[in-house]
């Protein structure tokens, strides 16, 4: 788990609209590349970004959403 969290970005997206919600980041690309180097498969950048969202590493809830900040990692 430390390996995954070592790719935590310095900041998180702050989307105002659904069109602004990203599906990949430079960090998810780097994590994907690192995991592939270690022999993992099915770990593309979009999948890694979804993992980052799921564990609260990035927060893609819209700025006005009541869920924004619920992970405790980002406000």
Domain boundaries, the chain: 2-54
**pLDDT tens track, the chain, 75 positions:** 899 999 999 999 999 999 999 999 999 999 999 999 999 999 999 999 999 999 999 999 999 888 887 777 765
DSSP secondary structure letter of residue 52: H
Distance (Å, rounded) from C-alpha 58 to C-alpha 73? 8
CA–CA dist 34, 5 (Å, integer): 13
Chain-centre distance for alpha carbon 16: 17
pTM exceeding the 0.85 threshold for the entire prediction: yes
């Amino acid at each position: 788990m430390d390996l995954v969290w070592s790719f935590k970005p310095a900041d998180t997206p702050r989307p105002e609209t659904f069109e602004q919600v990203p599906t990949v980041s430079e960090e998810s690309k780097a994590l994907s590349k690192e995991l592939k180097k270690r022999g993992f498969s099915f770990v593309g950048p979009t999948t890694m970004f979804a993992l980052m969202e799921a564990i609260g590493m990035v927060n893609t809830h819209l700025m006005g959403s009541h869920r924004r900040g619920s992970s405790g990692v980002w406000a």
